[in-house]
Structure 1
Amino acid sequence: MKRALLLSIVAGGLFAFTSPATTPPARVAPKTLASLFDQYWEEQAKLYPLQATSQGDNRYNDQLPNDQTRAFRRQLQTFYQTYLTELKKYDRSKLPATDQTSYDIFQFEMERQLSNLKQRTWMMPFAQTGGLPSAMAQLGAGTGAQPFKTSKDYDDWLARVHGFTAWSDSAIANFRQGMATGIVLPKALVVKMIPQLDAMVVADPAKSMFYGPITNLPATVSAADKARLTTAYQQAILTEVVPSYQKLSAFLKTEYLPKARATSGVNALAGGKEIYANAVRYYTTTTTAPAQIHEIGVREVKRIRTEMEQVQQQVGFSGDLNAFFEYMRTEPKFMPFKTPEEVLAVYRGVQARITPSLPKMFGRTPKAPFEIRQTEAFRAASASAQYNRASPDGSRPGIFYVPIVDATKYNVTRGMDALFLHEAIPGHHYQIALQQENTDLPKFRRFASYSAFSEGWGLYAESLGKELGVYTDPYQYMGALGTEIHRAVRLVVDVGLHTGELTREQAIKYMMDNEPINEQAATAEIERYMATPGQALSYKMGSLKIQELRARYEKQLGNKFNLREFHDELLRDGSMPLAVLDKKMDAWAAKQKQTQ
């Protein structure tokens, strides 16, 4: 998803941008590779103030520059090309091993950002799965990364809000350019975007999500400031926030929707084949061709279906696998919940069960606190379960968000054990928190995110369930197989959608035919892939690489292979492209061979 992707705030992929500043800082020639990386980090933090906020850098919390301009895109082109040119002045072969890894990651990042800038996806500024309008709501509610502890924090947010009107106007202008050139979103996505925007429109500012920080004003804020800020927030909501969302909604409803396309994949767009090829490279961090990825998906779906059939036989269910899926989807005993709190309690129980086994598999664990929360109501209907990163200093916990639209319909066979392992522990929370806490890494690596690595690790973490003491119930294991086949299905449907081999409806049917998922959930998933081409490929492609590495070293090292040391090494240097990971882990294995 992302320039330097804004995980935890925006999930809109190549169609969503963080917000950059418009005036680049003065640049001086760095004297060392470390200073090059430091200078890059400082400059990009100013370019992407929302991203800086998400990473606990509060210096730019008052900024929301307009990223929807041609000047911005030109600025980014200069920015990334300059740093790529500077990097190549260093002789990689003369660098220490750690710096060689940094060199490789940095080069990959500069090149992929330059490749992104060649695409015309800026004509689709956001979609139903994310983008600045939904990010603003999450931040403004006071439940995200934007801090609301002091009067200055409150003033910072007001200053940031002031930029939203200009951003909205420019986003509409870019949408209109897309309408003129045929670079438009599918109708099926636009109809989901409109109610999301309408939900932000209120007549009473006290009923706005953006009023949340005023409702929770800290006792340390003076009475005078409380009165001033209350008035200022009411005014900002009624004169800036609400009109911006109204304008976006009205535009989509009256102008854009009639021009939106009936097709599902980006192949239908001018230059769509290259847009998708670039997205595949971006998210998988490999050069694997879409057709090959599709074949891998077909094989994996077949393999996992066979294992599912074995579980079906184990529980004594008669009928075919699709009948078993239907049984799990609809049987009332699998939907025992009455309240959201009961759902969250199950996830807390998973955490309690795996905790005793974690030290056997991980020598390093995060210092950052961790919480399980229900996803906010405004975005729950179209949200997936997700992890929001902790702040590096631990002042904000890592949060596992669970969307619960209707607790009475929340199904235990959806793989609750596996979902926790992936999104929380030892999945994203371990991987991201450990990476942020490793102060030996240059900052561009401490906060890097490569979907194939991070989502690959999350899916690999699911495969550790039996070793961690869960999946003891056959239906929970079936749920884990369901989440795994879900990622394998993605390889088939994502490629199918964006190469024109599958329509939206055919992709939904394929998903429902091969996993226990209802039509509403399958539709939301397929529409997510339509909005963010290629991102769904990263999970399975990344996990297959990690599983390949584990199998390789178990064979090479024999009794010298230590699973805990393997996991610690894999996570030690943070997220990186898969080809770089391969080289790094091979070097680790070579050292293990030499030990007695």
Structure 2
Amino acid sequence: MTRMAVIFGTLAVLWNASATFALDLPTSSGEDGKLAAFFKTYLDQAFQDEPLMATRQGDHRFDDALDDLSPEARAAHVERDRKALAELPRQVTFAKLSRNAQIDFEILQHHLNREIWLAENFRPFEDDPRVYGGYLTESIYLLLTQSTLPKATKLKNAIARMALVPRVVEQAKATIKIPSRVKLETAIQQTKGAIGFYTDELFTLAGEPKGEGELGARAKVIVAALEDYLTFLRENVLPKATESWRIGKDLFVRKLELELDSGISADEVLAEAQAEAIRVEREMAVVARQLWGTTFPGRPIPPDDAEGRRLMTRLVLAELGKDHGAPESLVSDARATVAAIKTFIAKNDILTLPEPDQCRVIEMPEFQRGNSVAYLNPAPPLDVRGSSEYAISPPPSDWTQDRVASYLQEYNRSMLKILTIHEAYPGHYVQLEASNQNPSLIRKILSSGTFAEGWAVYTEQMMLDQGFGAGDLALRLHQLKFYLRAVVNAILDHEMHVGEMTDAQAMELLTGRAFQTEGEAVGKIIRSKQSSCQLSTYFVGRTAFNRLRLKVQRNLGDGFQLGRYHEAVLAHGTLPVKYLPELVPASLKAGR
């Protein structure tokens, strides 16, 4: 999973003499130049309005400010987007653009349409308290962990922004109405993590004495405000929280169309995922059969029918899952997988790895936990020398021993290798580093989650197909299990929001069909209730990449070169996958 901001970022820094960074970027002329100028003007206004998004994208001019989250300000943002959508075709003539600029035009137009529709149909500031977490804690965390500004400047900006955090708390208390319980409970846990951040971690990241000076004074005020906010969530909001979290068929169908932008309908996604789940189960059974004799020597194999094959696969996975580390070593165990994976990529010309390597493997901050086990937070597009973070969440301290054991069994040593391939090498980290080098700022900033997740899932099988793991059947079985999770994600996403799937039915799907452990399945059910459509991006994106690879490789025959192909795929930014069949063959003709 990637935490990259997919909304937008500011480019004003690139054209303002007082900007913190002056990036050397190519300029466009003619109609292409008009599109670039339009985008600059739009984003300059957008990030004066929304300083946190500017920080997320690496524009540090507004690092000492924080968003106005009042209803009036948020309504003004929507009107800003409406005006931009209306003005875009008036100021830029689509037919006069180069083909690459036409694609950028379409990406920007689609983005504006999506943002307006989302604002008209969803009210996250009222019914999803998690949305405030970014403003309360991430707004400070990013200044200290990703910005390449001098330490003194980062600290000054952090102190100035911290003065505004209590205002966010008050706005949240005035705005939150009746959220769903599942979102509220996560917000409560993240608020606890936020209190811990301002009590301890803040000072470690800032390199300042705990609780001292102006930083300590600001933190003390924030902790008091957050403790009050935590009481408010528990005592005022929790008693009113509902079990209503499904968005329904009409909203899901339209949202999926807008979020994926891949030319496939919700019903088509579901049908393809259901068929693919059956295929992957069969392939897993073939691998599990080969492992049975050495895993359970002398023990009769289960009957060769559907029920028996699932039992066989489940038993083999459970036994293999015993090879895992301790809760406190989960992050270091993941770090240990990196060197071998990177060596394999370079030796086998999978693609060119980024230099210098800026990816840090870290323990996920507590205030960001609750939605996923791992994520990749990439270097921001406008501060590309900032670090990228491959973050892994250890099991929560309040879990029972049985649930912790289940969690560690799920993320055993084989699965950690697949996770590192997905999140870092050659998955999210490598792909997003390449995206940051793309000359199109529209593509850098308005990124496609379907591309990002699809690429990461594609790389899992590709690496093993090319020989990573030297034919280790246990590793292959876990790769198939990880992919089956992506397939089942799409089924779960649809059935939880369009259908009437219960928790018990979802648990059976995840543990019975997808062989997930109970701890992993519980987390995925919670995630499916907290979000909609994002869980479908993995399968839809991976399917698009597989079909592209098949078409290109068939056309080139013996002339197909894997490393060259991968670099051609990543050369166009993180854009909607529907454009790849047009763009990739053209890149391959141009040479490596």
TM class, shorter-length? 0.7 to 0.9
Quote the Cα distance in structure 1 between the aligned partners of 2:587 and 2:91.
28
The 5 Å alignment of 1:57-72 reads 57-72=59-74
Q: Which position in structure 1 is the counterpart of 2:237? A: 256
Quote the Cα distance in structure 1 between the aligned partners of 2:176 and 2:34.
43
Q: CA deviation at 1:189?
A: 3.5
Give the ranges of 4+ consecutive aligned residues of structure 1 lying more than 6 Å apart after TM superposition.
Answer: none
Q: Which position in structure 1 is the counterpart of 2:477? A: 478
Quote the Cα distance in structure 1 between the aligned partners of 2:228 and 2:258.
33
Quote the Cα distance in structure 1 between the aligned partners of 2:232 and 2:4.
24
Q: CA deviation at 1:246?
A: 2.6
Provide, for residues 246-286 of structure 1, a one-character-per-residue CA deviation record: whole Å limited to 9, x for no partner.
3332232223223322244222xxxxx44323331233213
Provide, for residues 93-152 of structure 1, a one-character-per-residue CA deviation record: whole Å limited to 9, x for no partner.
33222222222222222222222222133354645xx53325643454576435684333
Return 97-106 or 133-142, whichever deviates more. Answer: 133-142
Q: Is this contact kept in 1: 2:64–2:157, CA < 8 A? A: yes
Provide, for residues 325-361 of structure 1, a one-character-per-residue CA deviation record: whole Å limited to 9, x for no partner.
6535654872442464475345433542442434644
The 5 Å alignment of 1:483-522 reads 483-522=482-521
The 5 Å alignment of 1:191-590 reads 191-201=185-195, 207-214=199-206, 216-217=207-208, 230-239=212-221, 241-267=222-248, 273-316=249-292, 318-319=301-302, 320-324=308-312, 326-327=314-315, 330-331=318-319, 334-338=322-326, 340-341=328-329, 344-358=332-346, 360-368=348-356, 369-377=358-366, 379-380=368-369, 383-391=372-380, 395-405=385-395, 410-411=408-409, 412=412, 415-438=415-438, 440-441=439-440, 443-471=441-469, 472-585=471-584, 587-588=586-587
Quote the Cα distance in structure 2 between the aligned partners of 1:335 and 1:352.
19
- SS of the residue corresponding to residue 286 of structure 1 reads coil
Provide, for residues 60-104 of structure 1, a one-character-per-residue CA deviation record: whole Å limited to 9, x for no partner.
111112234233223333235325522454332332222222222
Long gaps (5+) in structure 2 = 17-30, 303-307, 397-403
Quote the Cα distance in structure 2 between the aligned partners of 1:59 and 1:72.
21
Structure 1 residue 54 and structure 2 residue 56: aligned? yes
Q: Is this contact kept in 2: 1:373–1:402, CA < 8 A? A: yes
Quote the Cα distance in structure 1 between the aligned partners of 2:53 and 2:161.
13
Provide, for residues 32-76 of structure 1, a one-character-per-residue CA deviation record: whole Å limited to 9, x for no partner.
222223333333333332232233321111111223423322333
Over 3 Å counting, the alpha-carbon distance change for 1:261 and 1:380 in structure 2 is closer
Q: CA deviation at 1:302?
A: 0.5
Matched to 1:421, the amino acid is I
Quote the Cα distance in structure 2 between the aligned partners of 1:59 and 1:153.
11
The 5 Å alignment of 1:47-126 reads 47-124=49-126, 126=128
Number of residue pairs aligned between Structure 1 and Structure 2: 547
Q: Is this contact kept in 2: 1:201–1:245, CA < 8 A? A: yes
Percent identity, aligned pairs only? 19
Match of 1:190 among 171, 179, 184: 184
Quote the Cα distance in structure 2 between the aligned partners of 1:45 and 1:509.
45
Over 3 Å counting, the alpha-carbon distance change for 1:30 and 1:68 in structure 2 is farther
Return 331-340 or 454-463, whichever deviates more. Answer: 331-340
Q: Is this contact kept in 2: 1:358–1:468, CA < 8 A? A: no
Long gaps (5+) in structure 1 = 2-6, 218-225, 268-272
Provide, for residues 561-595 of structure 1, a one-character-per-residue CA deviation record: whole Å limited to 9, x for no partner.
33323211211110112223343235557x57xx9
Q: CA deviation at 1:363?
A: 5.0
- SS of the residue corresponding to residue 176 of structure 2 reads helix
Q: Which position in structure 2 is the counterpart of 1:165? A: 166
Matched to 1:97, the amino acid is R
Report the TM-score when normalising by structure 2: 0.82
Matched to 1:388, the amino acid is N
Q: Which position in structure 2 is the counterpart of 1:220? A: none
Return 463-472 or 400-409, whichever deviates more. Answer: 400-409
Q: Which position in structure 2 is the counterpart of 1:156? A: 157
Quote the Cα distance in structure 2 between the aligned partners of 1:359 and 1:91.
47
